[in-house]
C-alpha cells in the first residue's frame, strides 16, 4: 500500500468529516471531545489538496456515527465541512453542517468575571450572532479564534 493510498484509505464504519478548513482538524476533534482516550481509531489529514478549498483537512472517526447536533458546532470553525456517515465502506448519509443557534458547554467565557467562570453548577451557553458567539450570561462576544476558547476539561 502506497503512502498516498494510506492517507485516503476508506473506513468500514464511522464518520468522515470532509472539507474542513485547512488547519482546523485538531480543533474539530477538540470540539467533538475526541482525544484518543476512548480507543476510537481516528485518522487526520491536514492541508490535503482540495478542488473546492485549495487545501482542506479531513477527519475520519471509525466505529462512531456522529449526530447532526454534535457536528453542527463544527460549522463555527469549518463552515464548509461535510459529514459522511459510512457503513460497510459506503456513504449512507451525507450532510452539510448548519450554524447552530446556541453552543452549550463547549466554550469557556473569556470574561473572567462571568458567573460561568465561578464555582457554580452551570454550563456555558453562547448564542451564535453575526459577529461570532455571545455569552448568554454576561454578554461577552467572541469574534475570532473560537477554538482557543474550547473548555480545557473536555
| Choice from 40, 91, 104, 115 touching another protein (CB under 8 A) | 115
Distance CA 64, CA 66 (A): 6
| Choice from 23, 29, 80, 137 touching another protein (CB under 8 A) | 137
| Choice from 111, 128, 149, 151 touching another protein (CB under 8 A) | 111
Choose between 53 and 114: whose C-beta lies nearer to another protein: 114
Nine-digit cell string for 138: 454576561
| Choice from 42, 74, 81, 135 touching another protein (CB under 8 A) | 135
Rounded to the nearest 10°, the torsion over CA 83, 87, 89, 92 is: -50
Candidates 34-42, 45-53, 65-73, 113-121: pick the segment binding another protein (CB under 8 A): 113-121
DSSP annotation of 64 reads -
Query: Any contact of residue 101 with another protein (CB under 8 A)?
Result: no
Picking from 115, 121, 108, 102, the residue whose alpha carbon sits closest to that of residue 151 is: 108
Nine-digit cell string for 133: 458567539
Picking from 48, 63, 66, 55, the residue whose alpha carbon sits closest to that of residue 4 is: 48
Work out how close the CB of 70 gets to another protein at its nearest, in angstroms, rounded to a whole number.
Answer: 24
Task: Return residues touching another protein (CB under 8 A).
Answer: 111, 113-122, 129, 131, 134-141
Amino acid at each position: 500500500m502506497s503512502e498516498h493510498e494510506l492517507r485516503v484509505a476508506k473506513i468500514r464504519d464511522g464518520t468522515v468529516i470532509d472539507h474542513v478548513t485547512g488547519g482546523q482538524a485538531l480543533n474539530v476533534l477538540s470540539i467533538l471531545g475526541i482525544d484518543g482516550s476512548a480507543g476510537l481509531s481516528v485518522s487526520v489529514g491536514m492541508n490535503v489538496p482540495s478542488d473546492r478549498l485549495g487545501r482542506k483537512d479531513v477527519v475520519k472517526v471509525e466505529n462512531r456515527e456522529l449526530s447532526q447536533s454534535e457536528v453542527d458546532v463544527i460549522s463555527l470553525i469549518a463552515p464548509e465541512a461535510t459529514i459522511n456517515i459510512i457503513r460497510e465502506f459506503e456513504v449512507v448519509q451525507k450532510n452539510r453542517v448548519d450554524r447552530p443557534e446556541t453552543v452549550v458547554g463547549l466554550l469557556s467565557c473569556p470574561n473572567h468575571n462571568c458567573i460561568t467562570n465561578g464555582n457554580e453548577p452551570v454550563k456555558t451557553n453562547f448564542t451564535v450572532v453575526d459577529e461570532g458567539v455571545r455569552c448568554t450570561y454576561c454578554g461577552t462576544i467572541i469574534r475570532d479564534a473560537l477554538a482557543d476558547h474550547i473548555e480545557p476539561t473536555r
